[in-house]
Chain A
Amino acid sequence: MRSLLLAVLAAYVVASIHSILAFVNKRKALQRVSHWSLFLGFILHTTALIADWALDGHYPLFNLRETLSFLAWTLAGSYGLVLYRYKAFALGPFTLPLVSLLTFVAILIRNAADNGPEPGGFSATWLFPIHTTLVVFSYAAFFVVFVASVMYLLQERELKLKTFTPAFHRLPSLTTVNEIATLAAAIGLALLTVGIATGMLWSSSRDGFLWHNDPKEVFAALTWLLYLLLIVYRSTAKWRGRTAAWLGVAGFALVLCTFFGARWMGSYHVFG
């Protein structure tokens, strides 16, 4: 298992390095290497997750190590989708290193003794894995929104100031990043909505409460509201472009708070 994850990490690292080199040198051959090693890494990672599930007997998305690994997997998958749909290679140098880092940390934690509470009580119901999976996928979508928004802001600024850095010519067009951000935000919001709903259902079936005033729940609700605002304003077109892009960045800050921050504020939620 560990050696399989190491192979996954190696493939992701190769993919990251080649995507960065391709971004700098604009070489198609390097891009191809990056795509193929990402593809290989993703397949291996999928295998590893399935093996994990089969061996440990619970859905591989419960403690911190599993969550990080799963998050890396969803990010790699989302980047693959963006590549397939928009050919936006420029996202690679920003996404793939993060994917590699998450995988690396997941491998490090693997040996740590503290694997959190036993998940027996949680995974007993099928609602819990659905809740966590959907929420993690929505985080990946919001990360894509974040990267696309930053690209929008950088380029918009350079167009307004009329001074162009070398990165300018390597990023996708304004319209493309705008589309990516809008679509990813819509998908992320949909996933988060269902994710929160299943979480509530699960919670009410377990202890009868829909809402615990838990920090993680509060942040998740704020995140949900913010992305809803973003989508509504985008569709009425009042906040196209800059403002929407800033919202995409702010939204991701909230996502980070939901993901990490809540744990330090004493949430009863585990990761996921």
Chain B
Amino acid sequence: MSIVLVGINHKTAPVEVRELLAFSEEACAAGLRTLVDGEVLREGLIVSTCNRVEVLAATAAEHSREGSKRIGEFLAQARQLPESVFRDHLYTHHDEEAVRHMFRVASSLDSLVVGEPQVLGQVRRAYSLALEAGTAGRILNRLIHHTLRVAKRVRSETGIATNAVSISYMAVELGKKIFGALKGQSVLLIGAGEMAELCARHLINAGVSRVLVANRTEDAACRLAGEFGGEAVAFELIADSLSTADIVICSTAAEEYVVTTEMARAALTRRRNRPAFFIDISVPRNLDPAIGELPNAFVFDIDDLESVVSSNIREREREAERAELIVASEVMQFQQSLRVLDIGPSIGALRDKLQGIAKSELARQRSRLGPLSPEQERAIEAMLVSTVNKISHPLIRRMRQTYDTDLKAWGDTFDVHEPAQETDMPPESNLDY
């Protein structure tokens, strides 16, 4: 058996090409049935996201090259495109490289933002589509299960997905650092920029319970407050609301400071010095930077957030190097297990066959041996079995070292055949890593 992977991703192709090749879930299910012809391509799976299209297939080893060609043709046919449109953007991996690529994709090492978690869910979804279509068999089942395990290992053993890499998520992370759980905290939105809205949404998802919205145009404030299930506050009364808000997000188009140091100091005093977190994402700035010098006030402007984000991205890239080591060792393990999988049944069948011959010979000649005590009978049987094992031992050792098609030749010599492929799918719960 051989594993073939043909794909296209954000590094090899611009979005114009990727969008032409993308598969919807329906197209994916239908495509899988035409992809797997049972002859060259025995098993198949398609991962299609906005950043990548990967077609993974299992073939017989002698069809490995043929298989990758077929996948190219399949893509052209399924998306009704001339192959020339995307041929130069495709990459093809075989066996070990294909396994490595799958592991890296699922562990999010191959993603646009290293460590983003969605891709693992997408791989999982692709697998369940393949299971439904009946195109995931012995090899792909094993590969995907191993892939999900590797992705989990990378997540838990490296810091690849820990720190926030977007400004809006950074607000949540810093909020948690200051307040612990965000449950029960309140946030005040001053102005209603897109970024501020996004921040607020993330904060609400993280548990912030109360939202206040202040805007110069009252309608906009009411609309936004309604959307978040919060309350609108008159823009002139910001100073009063400041003291009730744990987190303040400011993004107005004002040219001057909307919150001055004096306002912040008064609010902090009324808060009995409980900490307050100010986020300023407006340019020019709307919060007086001097607020940051007050005790228990923490002010982050857009540049601060951006520089933390970029240092987090660098940190993730360092962690990615550790992740690559994990992937490398897992690839080796997988190749090893695949070998055992490939060879196991044949060896067992061969051994059974040889021992069967010995036992049937004994049964045939048993009457000539006359009466024997039970001990003698067992001794003769044991002698035959161990003779057979000793004679076949070098042969089996050789078989363990060979792989694939040679194995078939061995089998043919002794008239032993691999048992039929397992077709039963693993239970769904196995997917819950």
> Which A217-257 residues have C-beta < 8 A from chain B?
237-243
Complex interface: stretch among A20-28, A205-213, A262-270: A20-28
A159 contacts B308, C-beta separation under 8 Å = no
B157 and A25: CB pair below 8 A?
A: yes
Residue of A nearest to B315 (CB): A166
Cβ–Cβ contact B275 & A174, under 8 A: yes
- CB neighbours (8 Å) of A238 from chain B are 273
Using A155-B177, A241-B295, A241-B296 as known contacts, say yes or no to A175 and B275 having CB atoms under 8 A apart. Answer: yes
Cβ-neighbour of B178 out of A26, A27, A175 (below 8 A)? A175
**Contact of A162 with B by CB under 8 A:** yes
Contacts of A169 in B (CB 8 A): 159, 162-163
Q: Which residues of A sit under 8 angstroms from B307, Cβ to Cβ?
A: 162
Known contacts A240-B274, A241-B273; is-contact A173 B177 (Cβ 8 Å) = yes
- Name the residue on B nearest A86 (C-beta): B180
Q: Convert A162-197 into 0s and 1s, putting 1 for each residue whose CB lies closer than 8 angstroms to a CB of B.
A: 101010110011111000000000000000000000
Say yes or no for B334: interface residue by CB 8 A criterion: no
Question: In the complex, which residues 301-330 of chain B have their Cβ closer than 8 Å to any Cβ of chain A?
Answer: 304, 307-308, 311, 315
Give complex CA distance A241, B78 in Å. 63
Complex Cα gap A25–B319 (Å): 11
Does the CB pair A159–B177 fall under 8 Å? Answer: yes
Judge whether A160 is part of the interface by a CB distance below 8 angstroms.
yes
Interchain CB contact under 8 A, B273 and A240: yes
Residue from the list B159, B273, B308 in contact with A164, Cβ < 8 A: B308
Instruction: Determine whether B86 belongs to the interface, using a CB cutoff of 8 Å to chain A.
Output: no
Considering the complex, give the chain B residue whose CB is closest to the CB of A158.
B177
Known: A28-B156, A240-B272, A240-B273. Is A174-B177 also a contact (CB below 8 A)? Answer: yes
Q: Chain B, 150-163, contact with A by CB distance < 8 Å: what is the 0/1 string?
A: 00000011010011
Q: Flag whether B300 is at the interface (Cβ < 8 A).
A: yes
Complex contact A173–B178 (CB within 8 A): yes
| Contact indicator A26/B179 (Cβ below 8 Å) | no
A82, chain B: closest CB distance, angstroms: 14
Is B176 among interface residues, defined by CB-CB distance under 8 A? Answer: yes
Asked whether, in the complex, the Cβ of B292 is within 8 Å of the Cβ of A160, the reply is: yes
Which of B179, B180, B292, B296 has the most C-beta atoms of chain A within 10 angstroms of its own C-beta?
Answer: B180
Q: Is B298 an interface residue (CB 8 A)?
A: yes
Partner of B180, one of A27, A162, A176, A240: A176
For A, the interface residue count at a CB cutoff of 8 angstroms equals 24
Query: Which size class do B's interface residues fall under?
Result: 20 to 34
Bound together, the chains give a CA A173 to CA B193 distance in angstroms of: 29
Q: Are B176 and A173 in contact (CB under 8 A)?
A: yes
**Please, which residues of chain A bring their CB within 8 A of the CB of B174?**
159
Residues in B with CB closer than 8 Å to A168 are 177
User: Is the Cβ of A27 less than 8 Å from the Cβ of B157?
Assistant: yes
**When A26-B159, A27-B157, A237-B272 are in contact, do A173 and B295 touch as well, CB less than 8 Å?**
no
Q: In the bound complex, do residue B298 and residue A160 qualify as a contact, i.e. CB atoms below 8 Å apart?
A: yes
Contact status A162-B275, CB under 8 Å: no
Scoring A239, A240, A243 by chain B CB atoms within 10 A of each residue's CB, the highest score goes to: A240
Contact among A155, A160, A173, A243 for B179, CB-based, below 8 A: A173
Query: Which residues of B, 145-200, contact A by the 8 Å Cβ criterion?
Result: 156-157, 159, 162-163, 174, 176-180
Give A242 to B268 CA distance when docked, in angstroms: 14
Per the bound structure, the CA–CA distance linking A166 and B272 in Å amounts to: 31
B179 surroundings in chain A (CB, below 8 A): 173-175
**Are the C-beta atoms of B311 and A174 separated by less than 8 Å?**
no
- The smallest C-beta distance from A216 to any residue of chain B, in angstroms, reads 35
A237 CA to B271 CA, complexed, in Å = 9
- Bound Cα distance A159, B162 (Å): 18
Chain A residue with the shortest CB-CB distance to B175: A173
Interface residues of A (CB under 8 A from B): 25-28, 155, 159-160, 162, 164, 166, 168-169, 172-176, 237-243
Given contacts A164-B308, A173-B177, could you give 8 more A-B pairs where the C-beta distance is less than 8 Å? A160-B292, A168-B177, A173-B176, A173-B178, A174-B275, A175-B179, A240-B295, A242-B296
- What 7 A-B pairs have minimum CB-CB distances, sorted nearest first? A237-B272, A240-B273, A173-B180, A175-B180, A162-B304, A176-B180, A241-B296
In the assembled complex, 25 residue pairs joining A and B whose CB atoms fall closer than 8 Å, in A order, are A26-B162, A28-B156, A162-B300, A162-B304, A162-B307, A164-B308, A164-B311, A166-B315, A169-B163, A172-B180, A173-B178, A173-B179, A174-B177, A174-B180, A174-B275, A237-B273, A239-B273, A240-B274, A240-B295, A241-B273, A241-B275, A241-B295, A241-B296, A242-B295, A242-B296
